[in-house]
Amino acid sequence: MSRGISWNLRQKLKLLAFIALFSGPLVAAWAMVEWRVGIPEEKAAHGRLEPTLPPLSQWPLEEGAATLDHEEWVLAYDCLLPCGGLADRLWRLHRALGREAPRVTRLRLGGGQDPLPGEQVVHWQERPAWSDDAVTWLIDFEGRVVLSYGQDDDPSEILEDVRRLLRMNPEIERLSRE
């Protein structure tokens, strides 16, 4: 007679333990992401992720957008309505970047006001349905829309996100292309 657990049952318990050992962390990570539990607040972006928006190169803009440097991040905002306050907040945000400011360009879409220093103005050929005059988009150096911010979002949170993204994506060496 055998003592304790049979050899076959012991092998099945080992298999279940290995499955739990390797799948447990995956289930826990999925639950953390799905329910936003245990994710530090200081590591999350303040803006809204925008993976469905087309890249900047596919936006229906007039020809002036071609002057953008492909190595720069872009803060783009729609200015259909008078947007002097938003333009001023983004100008101040751009200045607050300090030595990193040359890596970011401000792009105003529409509007009749004169551009602020360091700002480029282009107009829509036709305004897309996804555009909103109360939104600022942060576009990466490859032209992809990364984050969007509403008009009521705190500029200090936008600044924090921009600084984090610039720090995580060091400047591309321009000498490598020469």
pLDDT of res. 175: 36
Partners of 145 in beta bridges: 139
State the virtual CA torsion across 88, 90, 91, 93 in degrees, nearest 10: 120
- β-bridge mates for residue 61, sequence order: 124
CB 105 within 8 A of CB 69: yes
* DSSP SS3 for 62: coil
96-110 confidence digits (pLDDT tens): 999 999 999 999 888
pLDDT bucket at 138, cuts 50 / 70 / 90: very high
**Helix (H, G, I), strand (E, B), or coil: what is residue 108?**
strand
In whole angstroms, what is the distance from residue 143 CA to residue 102 CA?
17
Distance, CA of 113 to CA of 115 (rounded, Å): 6
What is the reported pLDDT for 1? Answer: 45
In 3-state terms, what secondary structure has residue 32?
helix
- In the DSSP assignment, the letter for residue 170 is P
Rounded to 5°, angle at Cα 73 from 69 and 75: 110
pTM (global) more than 0.85: no
Instruction: Please count the CA atoms within 13 angstroms of the CA of 94 that sit on its side-chain side.
Output: 22
* pLDDT tens, residue by residue, 84-133: 788 889 899 999 999 999 999 999 888 777 778 878 888 888 888 888 76
H or E stretch covering 105: strand 104-109
Instruction: State the Cα–Cα distance between residues 156 and 135, nearest whole angstrom.
Output: 16
